[in-house]
Structure 1
Amino acid sequence: MRYAQGGGFTPQEQRRREQVRLRAAEMFAQGVTNAAVAKTLRVTQRSVERWRRAWREGGTAALASAGPHALPRLSPAQFARLETELQRGPLAHGFADQRWTLIRIKTLIGRMFHIGYTLQGVWYLLRRNGWSCQRPARRAIERDEAAIEVWKKEVWPQVEDPRRPTAPGSASKTKPVKG
């Protein structure tokens, strides 16, 4: 099943869903029908049927959360070390320019920790730890900020079309035109 932003449930959401399943187990023990359980817990009947089957086969323990599907391969200490290296910049690690790409970060992880990641795995790792995708604004090397400011202040006001005519003679809807 896919969730928003390509991830799964957060640990907090997993605990909440586990509580819903455990509440369903209590209702199963009381003999409540699947339809009533679904309506009360605001879930689909199909989910309730799946939970009831698991409950019959393994009891309440079968409805407990199995935890995250995949544990991060980098420990928090390793990720903190990776962040320090990312802040040093790509030039410090032998790359040609100042842009971090997923391929470069994957290479850095491999060099530092001897752990192989896919590009998608690197993206999930970064997003899970609060990083975001940022694209640099492309600017010409010859760009002269001072000249741009002068142009905006002096030339643009002369070229710009005024939004409203300033000369008298424009018709108004509120005053009748005398002819």
Structure 2
Amino acid sequence: MSVIAKAYGVGERTVRRWRQEAKQPRKKSERGPGQPPKLSPEQMKALEKELERGAYAHGYGEDYWTLERIGHVIWELYGVRCATSSVWNIMQRLGWSSQKTQRVAIQRNDDKVKKWKRYVWPRIKKVA
């Protein structure tokens, strides 16, 4: 123990105390400081069901969710105002992920796109 004490620049008594503390079972730490969740578990389940109904069901013209839209739905259903970051945390707890909506041109022809990628793009790549 004296070797360890010298290596760390502490007394042997300190090393013994460290050893005793290491043998003791550790308590699980309690939840850290911070505000309690804005929505109860029941409200979270109900919110998820509402979101699964889609944005159309809540009066939006396009069927996709944004954090702002979800925050508005939370306000309408529960009277709780949530910052965008709080809505993000709620969605994370529900297991939802953010995804960028893909916009596709109405005139898009998937067959032509495949042919272009297969035949035209490689030729352009060779020249460049």
| TM-score normalized with structure 1 length | 0.48
Distance 1:89 1:64, change over 3 A: closer
**Percent of residue pairs identical:** 33
**Structure 2 Cα separation of the partners of residues 83 and 152 of structure 1:** 40
1:156 to 107, 120, 123: 120
Say whether residues 1:91 and 2:56 are aligned partners. yes
| Count of aligned pairs between the two proteins | 108
Unaligned segments of structure 1, at least 5 residues: 1-31, 42-62, 163-179
Residue 125 of structure 1 is matched in structure 2 by: 90
Q: d(CA) in 2 for partners of 1:67 and 1:158?
A: 56
Corresponding position of 2:35: 70
Q: Cα deviation per residue 1:4-54 (whole Å; 9 max; x = unaligned)? A: xxxxxxxxxxxxxxxxxxxxxxxxxxxx649x64xx76xxxxxxxxxxxxx
Q: Deviations over 1:66-100 (max 9, x none)?
A: 53433222122211111111111111111121221
Report the AA paired with residue 137 of structure 1.
Answer: Q
Alignment of 1:14-163 (within 5 A): 33=14, 37=18, 67-68=31-32, 69-152=34-117, 155-156=119-120, 159=123
Question: Unaligned 5+ residue runs, structure 2?
Answer: 1-12
* In structure 1, distance between residues paired with 2:114 and 2:42: 47
Alpha-carbon distance, 1:135 to partner:
0.7
In the alignment, the residues of structure 1 paired with residue 29 and residue 40 of structure 2 have an alpha-carbon distance, to the nearest angstrom, of: 22
CA RMSD of aligned residues (A): 3.3
Shift of 1:64: 8.7
Aligned-pair CA distance for 1:128: 2.3
Taking the aligned partners of 2:94 and 2:122, their CA distance within structure 1 comes to 50
Larger radius of gyration: 1
Task: Please state how far the C-alpha of 1:123 moved relative to its aligned partner.
Answer: 0.9
Tell me the amino acid that sits aligned with residue 121 of structure 1.
S
Residue 148 (structure 1) shift: 2.0
Q: What amino acid sits opposite 1:156 in the alignment?
A: V
**What is the TM-score of this pair, normalised by structure 2?**
0.64
Relative to 1, partners in 2 of residues 1:161 and 1:91: Cα closer, same or farther, differing over 3 Å?
A: closer
